[in-house]
Structure 1
Amino acid sequence: MKGIIFTEFIELVEREFGLDVLDSILEESKDSGVYTSVGSYDHKALVSLIVSLSKKTEISGEQLQQVFGKSVFKNLLKTLPAQATLNRCSNTFQFIRHVEDYIHIEVKKLYPDAKPPSFEFISENETQMVFDYKSARCLSNVCFGLIKGCSDYFNENIEISTENQTEDQSHVRFSLMLST
């Protein structure tokens, strides 16, 4: 997993919960907290940090992943070059499609060893989108948060439901419904 995910998480914990909480979860996880945005790290370290934060804050790991996903979305927008086709998206569904068709492809070009999640689109119309999220890292709740951040950005009310396709959550079906 790319280090930028780790640096984003550490910044989020410090900003939202404070330096004392960050130090505490790093200590509990036996984690130095030293990451570079371009480095590659085992995703299990991030999972360990999320579990420690969940224990410390009594907020479920799923909720924490979703909050993290929303935060990552905001920062993702800031990093997009002005000419990126993603900047021309006018709604959540277009943006999600472009994540698979643009961002994941660009990530692989920049970092050949990267293994971003994949989206397999099942169906889509103006008010509904169904796609499968597949990732060996099993962080579908981060994806959930990214979608929430995206729908907030486009000022759309999107109802999100998920259905695990595998027990380990490496394959999760997302059903999105635009509601008025």
Structure 2
Amino acid sequence: MKGIIFTEFLELVEDKFGLELLDEVLEMSDDEGVYTSVGSYDHHDLVKLIINLSKKTKVDPEALQRVFGQSVFKNLLASVPNKASLNHSYNTFQFIQHVERYIHVEVKKLYPDAQPPEFDFITQNEANLVFDYKSARCMSHVCLGLIEGCAEYHNETISVEMAPQTADGSVVRFNLKIEQQ
């Protein structure tokens, strides 16, 4: 997993819960907290940080992942080159497709060892988008938060249903519906 995810997570924990709690979570996780944005790290280390943050805060790990996805959306967006930016997408559905068809492809070119999640698109019309999120990292709630952050950016109200397709959560079907405003 790319280090930018780790650095963003550590910044979020410090901002929301304070440096003291971040230090406690790092210590519980036997983690020095030294990451570079361009480095590659084992995603299990992030999972351990999330689980230990959940233990300290009594906030459900899925809720923490979701909040992380929401907060990191704009920072990740700012980190991609302008030609790959949101300028090519006028709504949340277009952006999600752009992520899979362009951004993930470019990430793999820049970082051959990267393994971004895959989106397999099932159906789409003006008001609905159904796709399967596939990732061995099983972090679909981060994806949910990213979708919510994107919808907020586009000033859209979207209802999201998630249905695990595998017991381990490595494949989750997302059913998105744009709500009329």
TM range (shorter): over 0.9
Q: What's 1:58 paired with?
A: 58
Q: What's 1:86 paired with?
A: 86
Q: What's 1:157 paired with?
A: 157
Q: Distance in 2 between matches of 1:82 and 1:55?
A: 39
Q: Which segment is superposed worse, 52-61 or 69-78? A: 69-78
TM-score by length of 2: 0.97
- Identity among equivalent positions (%) equals 64
Q: Distance in 1 between matches of 2:100 and 2:136?
A: 16
Compute the displacement of 1:19 (Å): 0.2
- Within a 5 Å distance, the mapping from 1:2-81 to structure 2 comes to 2-81=2-81
Q: Distance in 2 between matches of 1:56 and 1:140?
A: 22
**Secondary structure at the counterpart of residue 119 of structure 2:** strand
- Contact kept, 8 Å, 2:77 with 2:85, in 1: the verdict is no
Compute the displacement of 1:102 (Å): 1.0
- Contact kept, 8 Å, 2:92 with 2:151, in 1: the verdict is yes
Q: What's 2:125 paired with?
A: 125
Q: Which runs of 5+ in 2 are unaligned?
A: none
Q: What's 1:146 paired with?
A: 146
Is 1:168 aligned to 2:162, yes or no?
no
Q: Distance in 2 between matches of 1:166 and 1:140?
A: 12
Q: Distance in 1 between matches of 2:123 and 2:24?
A: 44
Q: Which runs of 5+ in 1 are unaligned?
A: none
CA RMSD of aligned residues (A): 0.9
4+ long deviations beyond 3 Å: none
Matched residue pairs, number? 180
Is 1:101 aligned to 2:101, yes or no?
yes
What per-residue deviation string (whole Å, max 9, x for no partner) do you get for residues 31-90 of structure 1? 110011111111000000000111111110000000111122110221233333532311
Q: Distance in 2 between matches of 1:93 and 1:83?
A: 18
Q: Distance in 1 between matches of 2:130 and 2:34?
A: 38
- Contact kept, 8 Å, 2:66 with 2:141, in 1: the verdict is yes
Amino acid at match of 2:164: N
- Contact kept, 8 Å, 2:122 with 2:130, in 1: the verdict is yes
Q: Distance in 2 between matches of 1:133 and 1:84?
A: 21
**Secondary structure at the counterpart of residue 33 of structure 1:** coil
**Secondary structure at the counterpart of residue 144 of structure 2:** helix
Q: Distance in 2 between matches of 1:130 and 1:165?
A: 13
